[in-house]
Amino acid sequence: MNILITGGTGYIGSHTVVELIKVGHNVIIVDNLCNSDIKVLDKIEIITNIRPIFYSFDIKYSTLLDDLFTKHKIDAVIHFAALKSVGESVTMPLEYYENNISGSIILFEIMKKHNVKKIVFSSSATVYGDPATIPITEDFPLQTTNPYGFSKLVIEQLLRDIYNSDKSWSIALLRYFNPVGAHQSCLIGENPNGIPNNLMPYIAQVASGKRDFLTVFGSDYNTHDGTGVRDYIHVVDLAIGHIQALKYFETHGCELITVNLGTGVGYSVLDVVNAYQKASGQTINYRLAPRRHGDIAICYANPTLANKLLGFKTQFGIEQMCLDSWNFQKNL
Ligand code: NAD
Ligand code: UDP
C-alpha cells in the first residue's frame, strides 16, 4: 500500500516508517520538521535500504497537501503530526488547537476529497484523565485537563462523527500509553530539544552526564514506593501496533476501532531508575520533590482489546526499553 505518514520524521513516526517499509509498504512522509530533524531520513535509509519520499511542509497548507494526494495514489494515512507537550499546551493553547485540530481538519478534508478513507490516528491515554480505577479499558469515561489532551479528544470526536456520517471510512483511534526506548540500530530514538519533559529521556541525560540528577515528582502517591506508576511501552512494539491496525482493515473492512496500546504493566519512577541503572551500568542520581501539577498516581492499560482485535502483544520489557534508550543516547 502507499501510506502517507504525517509527522513521519518524529519519534514514533520514524519507528513506524521503518516497520512499514520492512513489511513492504511504500511510505510517503509529510513533516514540517518543527520537532524533528531531516537527518532522520538518512537513518531510515541506513536501516531499511530505502529512502521514503519526503515532503517538508505543514499539513495546514491545504494546497500542498492536495497536490501531494493528486501526485501519489494514497491508500491509507497514519496521522502522527501534532504538538505534544502538555506543559507547553497550557501556555500556548491557541498554537496547540490551531496546529493539532485545524491541521487534522484540513487533512481529513483533503482525504475525503481524494476518496482516501483509511486512517490510523495517534491518540493518547491522556484522554482518560485521572481514571477512577485501573487497568484502563477503552470504555472508560473521557476527560482531560489541558489543551493538548483536549486537542486529542476533539480529533477523536471528529473522526467518530466522520465515521457516523459515512460508514465507508476505516478509522483506528490508537491510545498510546508511555512510549519509550529506541530502535535497536541506535540510529533513531527520542532526542528532545532543551530540557526533557518526559521521564526516560531525562534519565538518559542523567546517565550520560548531561544532567546532574533526576527530579522525582512526588514520593507520596498511593503506590508501592510512593512514586508515580505508568505503563511504559517500547516504541518498536508501538510502531508494530500501527501495522496491525492497517492489517485489521484489510480483513474487516470499514469500521471504527478504539484501542489502547500499552503493556498492561505499571512501573514506578524508581522502578525505571533502577532498571536504567542496571541497563546502563551508570548511577542515576535523583532527588525527591513535590508532585508535578496535573500528574496522576497510576495509569496503565488493559491491553486485552488490542490483543483480541489486532493480535497486538508487546515483545520488549522494561530492561530492553532502558537498554535501547541508553544505546541510542550513547550514540548521539
Ligand atoms: P514528535 O514530536 O517526535 O513527532 C511529531 C512530528 O510531527 C514531528 O516530526 C513534527 O515536526 C511534526 N509536526 C507537528 N506538527 C506538524 C504540522 N502541522 N505539519 C507537519 N508536521 C508536523 O512526537 P511523537 O512522540 O512521535 O508523537 C507522535 C504522535 O503521537 C503525536 O500525535 C503525539 O501527540 C502522539 N502521542 C505521543 C506520545 C508520546 O509520549 N510520545 C504519547 C501519546 C500520544
Ligand atoms: N517524572 C519525574 N521526573 C521527570 C519527568 C517525569 O518524576 O523529570 C515522572 C512523572 O511525574 C510521572 C512519570 O515520571 O509519574 C512519567 O512522566 P512522563 O512525563 O514521562 O509521562 P506522563 O505519564 O506524565 O505523560
Q: pLDDT tens digits, the chain, 332 residues: what are they?
A: 999 999 999 999 999 999 999 999 999 999 999 999 999 999 999 999 999 999 999 999 999 999 999 999 999 999 999 999 999 999 999 999 999 999 999 999 999 999 999 999 999 999 999 999 999 999 999 999 899 999 999 999 999 999 999 999 999 999 999 999 999 999 999 988 889 999 999 999 999 999 999 999 999 999 999 999 999 999 999 999 999 999 999 999 899 999 999 999 999 999 999 999 999 999 999 999 999 988 999 999 999 999 999 999 999 999 999 999 999 999 99
With 0-12 / 13-18 / 19 or more C-beta atoms within 10 angstroms meaning exposed / middle / buried, residue 73 is exposed
From ligand 2's centre to the CA of 218, what distance in Å? 10
Ligand nearest to the CA of 197: 2
- What separation in angstroms does the CA of 330 have from each of 178, 195, 209, 322, 325? 22, 17, 11, 12, 9
- Residue closest via CA to ligand 1's atom 18 equals 58
Rounded to whole angstroms, how far apart are CA atoms 76 and 245? 11
Domains of the chain as residue ranges with CATH: 2-180+231-263+302-312 (3.40.50.720)
Q: What is the pTM of this model?
A: 0.98
Residue 198, classed as helix, strand or coil, is coil
Cell of 182: 529506541
Look at residue 192 in the predicted model and tell me its pLDDT: 86
Which residues have CB under 6 Å of ligand 1?
A: 6-7, 9-13, 30-36, 58-60, 80-84, 99, 103, 122, 124, 176, 179
Look at residue 214 in the predicted model and tell me its pLDDT: 98
Ligand nearest to the CA of 59: 1
From ligand 2's centre to the CA of 199, what distance in Å? 5
- Residue closest via CA to ligand 1's atom 10 equals 35
pLDDT in tens, 239-293: 999 999 999 999 998 999 999 999 999 999 999 999 999 999 999 999 999 999 8
Q: Which residues are catalytic?
A: 148
- Residue closest via CA to ligand 2's atom 6 equals 199
Rounded to whole angstroms, how far apart are CA atoms 53 and 299? 37
